[in-house]
């Protein structure tokens, strides 16, 4: 399974922060396949399958948009305890496609279950009959276009035949490339941790570049582990860790109709049984999962459409979590703040504006603001030692950290965003071209 170079060419890959890739290797119970269904009419990989030979426990969080894609409707209707396959297509969101889009997924799931059942008979000593409801989908791309059922169905036999039981970095890269839309680089992350004396792996891939502000989840992200964790505990772990990772990023304040973050547990690792969400044995796993999700989330922001800078906004000293989050997102989503940073202008007055419009009561006489290590405002007044040239020099970097201290409490929240450049307009003006 070689890398399809067309994916690299199509992505217009840019060399920037966080471009390095971790060495994801083999993880027991996960198999991968990626092919071209020619959805882009350029032969790039655009159809990806994850196959779980023994089935996998699963949990997902989805967009809270009031208009959702047909694949999310399909996934929500499947109540299977185990999932045997995840299929992801790009180029077409399968949203606002109505019965056509949903029926297409039914047919594709039926064909996939048939072909995977045949593969079980060929490869397994105790083959299983895989059902269509044990197949779920991720879709991404343009909204409102008929779903390309025939193109995808015609490639299911090839997708199944090319399944690789053993993975390496290149195979994971192929999968991550295969789910991209306007992304310029694949997004992969990994962590290892211990459950008892057994070392567990947590791998993840994601896509996302535009139409991104989270609302329960954002973009598409898929997490895989060889640990043996129940569906219920996976759900609690995912919801907890989404709040400070994928629910703490914004590129353009737009929530997609297709957002989903899923985690799959193959149970192939032998370790002490996890009895509850509060089990002490989960402590390392919980921390490692957060690191994977945050790594992927920051990669999405760093690769935001037209982005030249990754921006971290750390709001501290608030009365409650909600206030900190409101202020952080108010700053992160301000076009005036984002364009100033794109222009490398330390216009801190725009930060003041964004704090004020957040709707949070605060005593501005206690307010402090820093750009990196450059103290601009202290206790509601311009720092007497502040030199704008120092701030301007700091703004030339490609990672910008903004610190806000409200000094009215002990709660904080961190949001990750990007700058707003002319390139963002160009990309979205030509999105369907």
3-state helix, strand, coil in the chain (%, to 5): 35, 25, 40
In which domain, by residue range, is 405 found?
310-429
Whether residues 237 and 294 fall in one domain: yes
Q: One of 218, 219, 255, 421 is an active-site residue; which one?
A: 218
User: Residue 413: which of 346, 271, 318 has the closest Cα?
Assistant: 318
Q: For residues 380 and 76, what is the distance between their CA atoms, to the nearest angstrom?
A: 49
pTM: 0.92
Q: For residues 69 and 201, what is the distance between their CA atoms, to the nearest angstrom?
A: 31
**Residues with Cβ < 8 Å from 423, sequence gap 6 or more?**
305, 306, 308
Contact 252, 212 (CB under 8 A): yes
Q: For residues 134 and 110, what is the distance between their CA atoms, to the nearest angstrom?
A: 10
Is-catalytic flag, 218? Answer: yes
Whether residues 273 and 211 fall in one domain: yes
Count Cβ atoms within 10 A of the Cβ of residue 248 and give its class: 0-12 exposed, 13-18 middle, 19 or more buried.
buried
Whether residues 207 and 324 fall in one domain: no
Q: For residues 257 and 71, what is the distance between their CA atoms, to the nearest angstrom?
A: 10
Whether residues 74 and 129 fall in one domain: yes
Whether residues 15 and 35 fall in one domain: yes
Q: Which of 280, 302, 324 is the last residue of a domain?
A: 302
CATH label of the domain that carries residue 238? 3.60.70.12
Whether residues 59 and 136 fall in one domain: yes
User: Residue 308: which of 334, 340, 354, 350 has the closest Cα?
Assistant: 340
Q: For residues 314 and 293, what is the distance between their CA atoms, to the nearest angstrom?
A: 18
Tokens of 38: 């020619």
Whether residues 37 and 120 fall in one domain: yes
- Count of C-beta atoms within a 10 Å radius of residue 150: 11
CATH label of the domain that carries residue 400? 3.10.20.340
Q: Which residues of 53-63 are buried (b: 16+ CB within 10 A; e: fewer)?
A: bebbbbbbbbb
Each residue's pLDDT, cut to its tens digit, for the chain (433 residues) gives 667 766 755 555 544 444 567 889 999 999 999 999 999 999 999 999 999 999 999 999 998 888 999 999 999 999 899 999 999 999 999 999 999 999 999 999 999 999 999 999 999 999 999 999 999 999 999 999 999 999 999 999 999 999 989 999 999 999 999 999 888 899 999 999 999 999 999 999 999 877 667 665 658 999 999 999 999 999 999 999 999 999 999 988 877 888 899 999 999 999 999 999 999 999 999 999 999 999 999 999 998 888 999 999 999 999 999 999 999 999 999 999 999 999 999 999 999 999 999 999 999 899 999 999 999 999 999 999 999 999 999 999 999 999 999 999 999 999 999 999 999 888 888 767 6
Whether residues 211 and 83 fall in one domain: yes
Whether residues 336 and 425 fall in one domain: yes
State how far the alpha carbon of 418 is from the alpha carbons of 113, 162, 225, 356, in Å. 41, 38, 30, 21
Whether residues 368 and 386 fall in one domain: yes
Cα-atom radius of gyration of the chain, to the nearest Å? 22
Q: How many domains does the chain have?
A: 2
Q: Which of 262, 279, 302 is the last residue of a domain?
A: 302
Whether residues 109 and 181 fall in one domain: yes
Whether residues 356 and 247 fall in one domain: no
**Residues with Cβ < 8 Å from 151, sequence gap 6 or more?**
37, 38, 39
Q: Which of 274, 302, 330 is the last residue of a domain?
A: 302
Count Cβ atoms within 10 A of the Cβ of residue 383 and give its class: 0-12 exposed, 13-18 middle, 19 or more buried.
middle
């Amino acid at each position: 399974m070689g890398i399809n170079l067309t994916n690299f060419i199509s992505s217009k890959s840019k060399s920037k922060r966080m471009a390095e890739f971790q060495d994801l290797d083999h993880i027991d119970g996960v198999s991968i396949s990626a092919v071209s269904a020619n959805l882009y009419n350029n032969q790039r990989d655009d159809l990806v399958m994850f196959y779980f030979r023994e089935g996998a426990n699963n949990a997902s969080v989805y967009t809270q948009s009031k208009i959702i894609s047909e694949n999310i409707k399909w996934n929500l209707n499947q109540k299977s305890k185990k999932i045997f396959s995840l299929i992801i297509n790009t180029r077409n969101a399968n949203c606002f496609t109505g019965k056509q889009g949903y029926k297409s997924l039914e047919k594709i799931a039926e064909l996939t279950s048939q072909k995977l059942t045949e593969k079980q008979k060929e490869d397994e000593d105790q083959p299983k009959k895989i059902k269509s409801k044990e197949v779920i989908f991720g879709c991404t791309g343009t909204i409102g276009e008929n779903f390309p059922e025939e193109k995808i169905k015609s490639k299911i036999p090839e997708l199944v035949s090319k399944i690789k039981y053993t993975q390496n970095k290149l195979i994971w890269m192929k999968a991550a490339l295969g789910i991209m839309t306007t992304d310029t680089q694949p997004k992969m992350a990994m962590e290892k941790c211990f459950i008892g004396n057994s070392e567990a792996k947590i791998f993840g891939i994601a896509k996302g570049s535009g139409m991104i502000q989270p609302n329960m989840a954002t973009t598409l992200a898929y997490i895989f582990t060889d640990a043996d964790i129940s569906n219920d505990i996976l759900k609690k772990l995912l919801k907890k860790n989404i709040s400070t990772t994928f629910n703490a990023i914004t590129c353009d304040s737009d929530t997609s109709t297709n957002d989903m973050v899923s985690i799959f547990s193959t149970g192939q690792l032998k370790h002490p049984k996890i009895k509850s969400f509060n089990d002490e044995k989960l402590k390392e796993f919980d921390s490692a999962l957060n690191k994977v999700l945050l790594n992927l989330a920051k990669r999405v922001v760093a690769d935001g459409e037209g982005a030249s800078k990754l921006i971290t906004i750390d709001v501290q000293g608030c009365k409650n979590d909600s206030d900190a989050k409101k202020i952080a997102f108010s700053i992160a989503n301000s076009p005036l703040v984002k364009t100033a940073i794109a222009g490398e202008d330390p216009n801190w007055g725009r930060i003041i504006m964004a704090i004020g419009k957040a709707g949070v009561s605060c005593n501005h006489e206690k307010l402090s603001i820093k750009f990196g290590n450059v103290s601009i405002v202290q206790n509601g007044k311009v720092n007497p030692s502040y030199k704008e040239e120092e701030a301007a020099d700091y703004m030339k970097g490609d990672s910008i950290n903004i610190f806000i201290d409200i000094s009215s409490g002990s709660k904080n929240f961190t949001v990750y965003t990007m700058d707003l450049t002319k390139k963002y307009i160009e990309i979205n003006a030509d999105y369907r071209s």
